[in-house]
């Protein structure tokens, strides 16, 4: 079995319209390819929810901050297609760049507030690129459901805000972060880690999980976050861009844990930037 691949909006819309006529519901799983178990878990969840699933694969130049990072992004279309075929995905949409950004393209979708701070501070323009491409993918596929991972938590909340603000008729479904056995969150950037860095990498998640538990038990926020930063650096990370406690839905900074929150971090391990986040709450001490 293989998964059908389409590369133009016209082909995509013809197939989606046929599905709709037969009464099928449609889910979309937006990706940039290099599919790992995290992406596959989204596709599996989508298959449970909808009659037909479309996985999109587009390495979106507008969300990269450097040409080198864009060039280094892995392109593994045929392996990705094979993985999706095994799962039983119904369609892989791999748009040519011109289908997303045709000549004269002049529109940017910008979600204020939620896109500021955290990754927004360190990756200027990144979230405008994400919002613009995701809006296009939603409109091109006309899907009923869209699946996103909690790993990119700021992105998830940004997409939710955009869907609400623009009345896009799609339900955003979030799926838990998939982790290696040692706690490292799956990411297409993990393949860049040297064996020595790979051994250090899980410490980001481990410190976040431990810190979330301490906060839930009542540790004061600011000193506890300072200790967490120190622990990540002591483990071998080179630099921490941010490690912050933010409101779970509005992502507003928090200095005391008085409502459900997320502890979010971005840190550099050698030349690789890793992000992660976990939930914490003053009432439920559950973290994940
Ligand atoms: O999370 C990603 O892989 C990308 O940001 C997305 C949502 C596919 C948009 O390009």
Same structural domain for residues 194 and 158?
Answer: no
Domain range spanning residue 114?
5-175
CA distance 262 to 287: 9
Do 130 and 197 fall into the same domain? no
The answer to whether residue 111 is domain-embedded is: yes
Do 166 and 59 reside in the same domain of the chain? yes
**Any ligand 1 atom below 6 A from CB of 30:** yes
Domain boundary among 150, 175, 200: 175
Q: Considering the domain boundaries, does residue 224 fall inside one?
A: yes
91: its two tokens: 């369609």
Name the residue of 28, 29, 32 to mutate for ligand 1: max ligand atoms within 8 A of Cβ: 32
Per-residue pLDDT, 288: 56
Q: What share of the chain is helix, strand, coil (3-state, %, to 5)?
A: 45, 20, 35
- pLDDT single digits (tens) 49-88: 999 999 999 999 999 999 999 999 999 999 999 999 999 9
In sequence order, what DSSP letters do the residues of 204-243 get, joined into one string?
HHHHHHHHHHHHHTT--HHHHHHHHHHHHHHHT-SEEEEE
User: 199 and 116 share a domain?
Assistant: no
Euclidean distance between CA atoms 107 and 116, whole angstroms = 20
Q: Using one digit for the tens of pLDDT, what is the confidence trace for 112-152?
A: 999 999 999 999 999 999 999 999 999 999 999 999 999 99
Residue 287 in any domain: the answer is: no
Q: How many CB atoms lie within 10 A of CB 82?
A: 14
Contact 52, 91 (CB under 8 A): yes
Does the beta carbon of 280 lie inside 6 Å of ligand 1?
no
Please check whether residues 138 and 40 belong to one and the same domain. yes
Give the atom of ligand 1 at the shortest distance from the alpha carbon of 149: 1
DSSP classification of residue 112: T
Q: For the domain that residue 122 is a member of, what is the CATH number? A: 3.40.50.620
Domain termination residue (choose one: 143, 175, 207): 175
Residue 288 is assigned to a structural domain of this protein: no
163, β-bridge pairs: none
Beta strands in the chain (DSSP E): 5-6, 26-31, 52-57, 91-93, 145-149, 171-175, 239-247, 261-269, 272-280
Same domain as 163, residue 220: no
Residue 170 sits in the same domain as residue 196:
no
Whether 90 is catalytic: no
Which residues of the chain register pLDDT less than 50? 284-285
Ligand 1 atom closest to Cα of residue 58: 10
Which residues are 264's β-sheet partners?
Answer: 244, 277
Say if 286 falls within a structural domain: no
Residue 181 lies in a domain: no
Total domain count, the chain: 2
Beta bridge partners of 185: 179
pLDDT of residue 285: 45
């Amino acid at each position: 079995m293989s998964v059908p691949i389409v590369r133009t909006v016209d082909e995509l819309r013809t197939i989606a319209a046929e599905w709709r006529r037969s009464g099928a519901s449609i889910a979309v799983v937006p990706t940039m390819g290099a599919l790992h178990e995290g992406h596959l878990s989204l596709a599996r969840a989508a298959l449970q929810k909808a009659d037909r699933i479309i996985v999109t694969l587009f390495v979106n130049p507008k969300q990269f901050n450097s040409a080198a990072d864009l060039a280094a992004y892995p392109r593994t279309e045929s392996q990705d297609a094979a993985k999706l075929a095994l799962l039983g995905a119904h369609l892989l949409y791999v748009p040519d760049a011109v289908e997303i950004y045709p000549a004269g393209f002049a529109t940017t979708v910008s979600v204020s507030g939620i896109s500021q701070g955290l990754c927004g501070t360190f990756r200027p323009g990144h979230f405008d690129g994400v919002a613009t491409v995701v809006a296009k993918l939603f409109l091109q596929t006309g899907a009923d459901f869209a699946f996103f991972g909690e790993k990119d938590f700021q992105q998830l909340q940004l997409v939710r805000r955009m869907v609400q603000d623009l009345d896009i008729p799609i339900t955003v479904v979030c799926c838990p972060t998939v982790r290696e056995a040692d706690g490292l969150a799956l990411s297409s950037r993990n393949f860049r880690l040297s064996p020595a860095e790979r051994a250090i990498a899980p410490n980001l998640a481990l410190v976040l999980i431990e810190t979330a538990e301490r906060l839930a038990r009542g540790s004061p926020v600011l000193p506890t976050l300072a200790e967490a930063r120190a622990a990540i650096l002591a483990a071998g990370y080179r630099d921490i861009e941010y490690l912050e406690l933010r409101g779970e839905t509005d992502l507003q900074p928090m200095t005391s844990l008085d409502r459900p929150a997320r502890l979010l971090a971005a840190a550099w391990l050698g030349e690789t930037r890793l992000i992660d986040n976990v939930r914490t709450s003053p009432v439920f001490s559950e973290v994940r």
